Structure 1
Amino acid sequence: MSVTDAKSPPEAFDTKSAKRALDLACETLQIEADAILALKNRLSGNSRDSFLQAVALLLQCHGRVVVSGIGKSGHIARKIAATLASTGTPALFVHAAEALHGDLGMITQNDVLIAISNSGEAAEFIAIIPIIRRMGAKLVAITGNDASRLAQLSDIHLDARVDKEACPLNLAPTASTTVTLALGDALAVALLDARGFREEDFARSHPGGALGRRLLTHVRDVMRSGDAVPAVTAGISLPTALLEITKKGMAMTAVVDDAHKVIGVFTDGDLRRLIETVQDFSKLTMADVMHHNPRTIGPDQLAVEAVEVMEQFRINQLLVADADGTLVGALHIHDLTRAKVI
């Protein structure tokens, strides 16, 4: 039958078709939810020991966890490998078919292979398992058939069987792939907790994400330093200090002593309030108008901590001082915005 002979989908659902589509969608979700619940019950019962053995084996792995599959199982295997790698377990994906043509060289005797096959009879796995065995690598099989050859050849078998697929024809991998993916997530979370994997560790493996920026960016990474930092001494006249504020473009200036230690700060907001009460600025010095002992932050603190200080005290600028109180930099709220810390 040609493409032109194929029945075209209706431009719009009639009431009957719309109801069937929604019924099928809800039935699909229910079948998959029931399959995951059945998996949960198995993990609390007959599959408990094998799951714990798999977690222990993966924790003891001195190499990498190699996750492999073919077809839809290959897509699930790739995602499981990515989840493991991002949560503290060194892992990679190897396509089962490509393993037969050179990629088997990626696997070493120190690795653990997680082989995923719903039938447990994938020819590609049956061909490479003897080689895996000879090299000394361990094998965890995830199948829907505990009597399959793959399950029988494995060191540990994890049962991912489902009563039926969500596909009305009971053919397309749907519930089985959902259960396998959930089982992979369960392994990853159990390993994450057993390794003591923390939020900071997650950030290190996701430096490009929002969490990575928040937890890996320090004040020293985004602060202005050197000549870019507005700073005057207490004896400087207010008009001269205003020139420094204008030149450096931070809407404020630090006030320092002869040793360059922070003793005060003067901001645009202070100037506006001063205008309301003072007519002649010419005789005022910074000692007369500055805020004494301003809030500062250390250069080694997280940039997100600077955000918290600014939000708490409703300020847009923050001086950066070392442990001795010496001025080393300054932050404006815009610096943190550009760095995507906020």
Structure 2
Amino acid sequence: MSVLVLLDHTPDGALRAPVRELLTLARDIAGADVHAAWPASGAEPTEETVAELGAMGVGHVHRLVADADLRLSAVVATGLASLVGAIGADLVLALSTFENKEVAARLAVATGAGVVTDADALTVEDGRYVAGKTVFAGTWTTRCAVTTPLAIVLVKANSVVAYPAEDAVPVAIDDHAFQADDAARRVRLVERTERPASGRPDLASAHVVVAGGRGTEGDFSAVEELADVLGAAVGATRVATDEGWIGHDAQIGQTGVTISPRLYIGAGISGAVHHRGGMQASGTIVAINSDPDAPIFEIADFGVVGDLFQVLPQAAAELRARKG
């Protein structure tokens, strides 16, 4: 089996943290035959990145090179389709992000592949790839077998424990040039604005998330303080984002970001079904709410009935004391 991994990277040429999970999964499935695609959109892999790829067991890195903008999903999908045919891959792995879901859809149309998004497990059974995922707001666990010759599986962050290969391998980097067709050129990127760096981890891939809801009444200071102590990402409910208390990029839920952190702390969040659908796969759920009948306590591993403006600062102070 030959696996192709799409390498999500930062503008300065470093791998995004959850990519290490994909590389671990790919290595467990394909052994030494792991290929990786690097969209050459201005950022080149650093020496540290190349060394890290070798330590993770990636022997082949293919730079996608085109005469079109590789920040567009249609162009990336065209390049991946060409590369899949060139190396004979039967599995494409990528992070389950908004951007990659669009790439996967276009790639599937071009190749006739089967697609599974938001997967949290992947095995090979009777020669077929079988992905595990939760559906219906996290209430059902399903297993999806891909029956087409090519499988495209998008994996949620924090689903795999990443670890290096037993022995590092030399990394061969080559250019895979391709021509973007007319359909891929119909969209043109006219402007791109980078968000100001907050210093916090990305919400979709964070190991720890502290989220606030209606109970914050627009004051996220306590939520952000605890998040900074824990090195966590900050999330929110749809009500909080619709009210303008925090940006829409922080929204967790069926119409926002789907997360699966090791630890989720929800403060002032009632636990409406559309929010639960985006966080119910979290490893440990801690709920803080002044209403003892709040629905979120039904799924919480630990619950605190109290005022979040008292509980969160006390928790932050205790954590600081324990850190010394």
TM-score, length of structure 1 as denominator length: 0.28
Structure of greater relative contact order (alpha carbons < 8 Å, 6+ residues apart): 2
Question: Highest Rg: 1 or 2?
Answer: 1
**Hey, which of these two has a bigger chunk of helix by percent?**
1
TM-score, length of structure 2 as denominator length: 0.29
